[in-house]
């Protein structure tokens, strides 16, 4: 290969890498997030009816980092389940009642107001619920993710 071809190839790789980094730059104000497409309980969520999901970054169905926003309606109960990826979350609105365990037990719940942080380690079962105020939670992980219910009967039906 000629030296000129090697240099041109290296330059193209640098340009492609720079474009990729630029494409990964995301800045979203609350009004921007509200304008994004919202879906139902999609990949990375519990699948419970009524939950609205917005993908803020990446794609939870593909390899790579992702962040999703969950808007969980009032008085929602999410049965014990786990995910195959390590995840972290921040409560940004309402009150999230979150616990670790193979069964949704209110005695194991910690009440998490806005500004709270928690983790969902890969394969560790957990559950959540909301009260009358509902909750908004941002969850980040490294996909592809999954949702695996402890009891198959608890998994929401499509």
| E-only strand ranges, the chain | 52-57, 64-72, 77-82, 87-100, 110-112, 117-120, 126-143, 148-149
pLDDT of residue 44: 64
Give the mean pLDDT of the chain: 85
- The pLDDT of 51-59, averaged and rounded, is 93
**HSE toward the beta carbon, residue 98, CA cutoff 13 A:** 23
Name the more confident of 77 and 158.
77
- The pLDDT of 90-102, averaged and rounded, is 98
pLDDT of residue 67: 96
- The pLDDT of 21-46, averaged and rounded, is 76
- The pLDDT of 119-137, averaged and rounded, is 97
Name the more confident of 49 and 45.
49
């Amino acid at each position: 290969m000629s030296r000129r071809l090697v240099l041109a190839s290296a330059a193209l790789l640098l340009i492609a890498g720079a474009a990729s980094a630029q494409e990964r730059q995301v800045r979203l104000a609350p009004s921007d997030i509200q304008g994004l497409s919202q879906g139902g309980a999609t990949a990375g969520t519990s699948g419970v009816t009524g939950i609205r999901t917005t993908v803020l970054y990446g794609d939870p169905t593909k390899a790579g980092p992702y962040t999703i926003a969950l808007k969980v309606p009032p008085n929602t109960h999410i049965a014990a389940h786990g995910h195959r990826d390590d995840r972290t979350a921040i409560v940004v609105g309402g009150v999230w009642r979150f616990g670790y365990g193979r069964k949704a037990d209110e005695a194991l719940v910690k009440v998490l107001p806005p500004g709270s942080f928690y983790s969902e380690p890969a394969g560790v079962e957990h559950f959540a619920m909301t009260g009358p105020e509902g909750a908004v939670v941002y969850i980040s992980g490294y996909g592809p993710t999954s949702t695996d219910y402890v009891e198959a009967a608890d998994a929401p039906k499509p």
